[in-house]
Structure 1
Amino acid sequence: MSTFDEGFDGRLSPGRRPAVIAVDLMQAYFEPASPLCLPSRDCLASAARVLAAARRRGVPVVHTRVEYAPAGRDGGVFVRKVPALKQLFGGGPMSELMPEVAPIEHELVVTKQYASAFFGTSLASMLVARGTDTVVIVGASTSGCVRATGVDAVQHGFIPLVVRDAVGDRSAQTHEASLFDLQAKYAEVVDEETAVTYLEEQR
C-alpha cells in the first residue's frame, strides 16, 4: 500500500516478539440492532483466522472490550459525544466478545473506556513485561479504536501491523482513509495472508 509520494511511508520491519491485539470485537459491532453495527462480518472471520495462527505458534493474544459504569460515570465527555456508547453502560450483552474470537485460557482481556487500547489501561506495561516488540492489530472500528490503538502503539515504541482484512468500519470511505493514514505515518498495513505467514514463522 503506497501513500504520499515523498517524506512518508517509511518501512517498519516486524520484530521477533509479536503479540496480537484484538480490538473490541464485541456484540455491539455485529448485532443489527446496535447503532455501532458494521455492514459486514468479513473482518470478524478474518480476525478469527489471525488469532488461530497466533495460537498455533504460542503468540500472545490480548483482547479489548468497552464497558462503562452505570450511567457512564467513567466515560467523561466521550459518551456525550457518542450517544451510541450508552448501550455499554453497566456492561450487558453488547459488551461481550463475539464467540468466533472468544478468549481462551491465559489470554488477557483489557476493559477500556476510550478509543485507544493503551489509554487508561495497563496494556503497555503488560506488553513490555513480555518483551513484545510488534503488535498485530485486528478489530473494530478502523477509524476509531483501531486507528487510535495503532497510533498509541507506535508512540509506546511497538511496531504496529494493522491487518486490512481483519479490521472493519461502518463506512468504506473512513475505513480506507484511516488505513491510508496509518500506513503513511504510524503502522504497516498488511493483508491477512501476510499477517498469518508472519505469525506462523514465530518459534
Structure 2
Amino acid sequence: MEDQSTVIVARPTPFEFDPSATAVVVVDMQNDFGSRGGMFDRAGIDIAEVQAIVPNIREVLGAARASGVLVVYLKMAFQPDLADSGYPSSPTWLKHAPFKVGSEVTSPAGEPSRTLIRDTWSTDIVPDLTPQPDDLVVYKSRFSGFFGTELHEILQQRGVQRLIVVGATTSVCVDSTVRDAMFRDYHCLVVSDATAEPIAADAPRSNHEASLLTFELLFAHVATTADVVAALSATAALPA
C-alpha cells in the first residue's frame, strides 16, 4: 500500500489499511458502563472518563462509515437465565456478582431493565453512539469479543484483516479483545483517546496508560482520534 491515504500515523510504526479489509470494533459502549443510572454509576464508579470518549468515538465511526469500513459493536451481556455467566461458581460470575448482575432496575426514563442482561436498556449502546442499519452488533459473555462469539467468523467472511479498536474499558475488555485478535493474526490499532478506563483523571498512574504501553510494545499500534479520522477521511475522498 503506497498511497498515503491508506496509512494512519501511529506508534510504534505507521498503520497501513485497506478499507475493504478493515473494521472498527466498538467495545462495550453500553448504558451499564457509560450512562447515568447504569451498573457502574449505581456502584459508585466514576464514569466520567468513559463518557468523555463518546465524541471521539462518534468521529471515528462517522469517518469509518464514510470510507466504507465495517463497524462492529460488542456488547457485554448475559442471557436472562444467566446460563452463559457461569452461575453460580465460575470466575466470571463471581467477578460480576457484586454488581448485582441480573437484578431488576429502572432506566432513567422509567423503563424496566435488568443489569447486564441482553436486550434491555442496561445493555443498549449509549444514545450518542447508536448503531446504524449497516453496522453489526455482537453479544459477548466474557471480556474478550472473540470468546464464544461469532466475531471471528463475521470478520473472516468479510475478508477483514485489520481492526481499529475503540471503547471501554482499556485494561479489561479492550485489552482482552485486542490480545485475542492478535493471537488470531489480526493487525490491530487502538485509538488512545477513544478508549478509556473508569479511573479518576488525576490518578498518579492508570491502567489506561499501562495498557496503551503494552499495546504499543507487543499487541497493537496506537494512534489518536485526529490521525485516524484524517486517514479515513482522506480514503473516503478518493475517486471510486
Task: Provide TM-score, normalisation by structure 2.
Answer: 0.75
1:182 corresponds to which of 215, 219, 224: 215
Instruction: Note if contact 1:67-1:90 (Cα within 8 Å) is conserved in structure 2.
Output: yes
Say which SS state the counterpart of residue 183 (structure 1) adopts: helix
Instruction: Note if contact 2:71-2:135 (Cα within 8 Å) is conserved in structure 1.
Output: yes
Identity of aligned residues (%): 30
Q: Deviations over 1:149-199 (max 9, x none)?
A: 111111111111100111111125111111111111100111101111222
Say which SS state the counterpart of residue 103 (structure 1) adopts: coil
Q: Structure 1 pair 111/150, CA: closer, same or farther in 2 (3 Å)?
A: same
Stretch of structure 1 that moved more, 88-97 or 125-134: 88-97
Q: Structure 1 pair 54/70, CA: closer, same or farther in 2 (3 Å)?
A: same
Instruction: Note if contact 1:53-1:200 (Cα within 8 Å) is conserved in structure 2.
Output: yes
1:112 Cα deviation from its structure 2 partner:
0.7
Instruction: Note if contact 1:71-1:89 (Cα within 8 Å) is conserved in structure 2.
Output: no
1:82 Cα deviation from its structure 2 partner:
2.5
User: Distance in 2 between the 1:190 and 1:110 partners?
Assistant: 25
1:67 corresponds to which of 77, 90, 95: 77
Q: Deviations over 1:98-121 (max 9, x none)?
A: 121111112110011011111111
User: Distance in 1 between the 2:55 and 2:35 partners?
Assistant: 15
1:201 Cα deviation from its structure 2 partner:
3.5
Residue of structure 2 in register with 1:5 after alignment: none
Whichever of the two has the greater Rg, that structure is 2
Unaligned runs of 5+ in 1: 1-8
Q: Within 5 A, what are the aligned runs for 1:47-62?
A: 47-62=57-72
Task: Provide TM-score, normalisation by structure 1.
Answer: 0.88
Q: Which amino acid aligns with 1:15?
A: F
Q: Which amino acid aligns with 2:142?
A: Y
Q: Deviations over 1:67-88 (max 9, x none)?
A: 2122422112202122227021
2:48 corresponds to which of 39, 42, 45: 39
User: Distance in 2 between the 1:85 and 1:126 partners?
Assistant: 32
Residue of structure 2 in register with 1:3 after alignment: none
Number of residue pairs aligned between Structure 1 and Structure 2: 195
Residue of structure 2 in register with 1:130 after alignment: 158
Residue of structure 2 in register with 1:79 after alignment: 93
User: Distance in 1 between the 2:232 and 2:183 partners?
Assistant: 23
Instruction: Note if contact 1:47-1:138 (Cα within 8 Å) is conserved in structure 2.
Output: yes
